[in-house]
Structure 1
Amino acid sequence: MSYTEETLTEKREVDSIIRDTLDKVLVLRFGRSSDPVCLQLDDILAKSARDVSKFARVALVDIDSEDVQVYVKYFDITLIPSTIFFFNAHHMKMDSGTADNTKWIGAFYKKQDFIDVVEAIFRGAMKGKLIVTCPLPPERIPKFQLLYKDV
Structure 2
Amino acid sequence: MSFILQTLTTKQEVNRVIRDTLDKVLILRFGRASDSICLQLDDILAKSSRELSKFAVVALVDIDAEELNIYVKYFDIVLIPSTVFFFNAHHMKMDSGTPDHTKWVGSFQCKQDFIDVVEAIFRGAMKGKLIVSCPLPPEKIPRFQLLFKDV
How high is the TM-score relative to the length of structure 1?
A: 0.96
Q: Which amino acid counterpart does residue 56 of structure 2 have in structure 1?
A: A
CA deviation string 1:67-95 (max 9, x = no partner): 00000000000000000000000000000
Q: Which residue of 2 aligns with 1:108?
A: 108
Q: Which residue of 2 aligns with 1:79?
A: 79
SS in 2 for 1:121: helix
CA deviation string 1:37-90 (max 9, x = no partner): 000000000010111000000000000000000000000000000000000000
Q: Which residue of 1 aligns with 2:94?
A: 94
How high is the TM-score relative to the length of structure 2?
A: 0.96
SS in 2 for 1:45: helix
Q: How does 1:19-58 map to 2 (within 5 A)?
A: 19-58=19-58
Q: Which amino acid counterpart does residue 65 of structure 1 have in structure 2?
A: A
User: How far apart, in 2, do the equivalents of 1:106 and 1:147 lie?
Assistant: 16
Q: Which residue of 1 aligns with 2:9?
A: 9
RMSD: 1.3
Q: Which amino acid counterpart does residue 83 of structure 1 have in structure 2?
A: T
Is residue 145 of structure 2 the alignment partner of residue 130 of structure 1? Answer: no
Shift of 1:146: 3.6
Shift of 1:4: 1.2
Structure 1 residue runs without a partner (length 5+)? none
User: How far apart, in 2, do the equivalents of 1:132 and 1:28 lie?
Assistant: 17
Q: Which amino acid counterpart does residue 126 of structure 1 have in structure 2?
A: M
How many pairs align?
149
CA deviation string 1:103-134 (max 9, x = no partner): 00000000000000000000000000000000
Seq. identity, %: 77
User: How far apart, in 1, do the equivalents of 2:33 and 2:121 lie?
Assistant: 25
Which structure 1 residue ranges, 4+ long, deviate > 4 Å from structure 2? none
Q: Which amino acid counterpart does residue 118 of structure 1 have in structure 2?
A: V
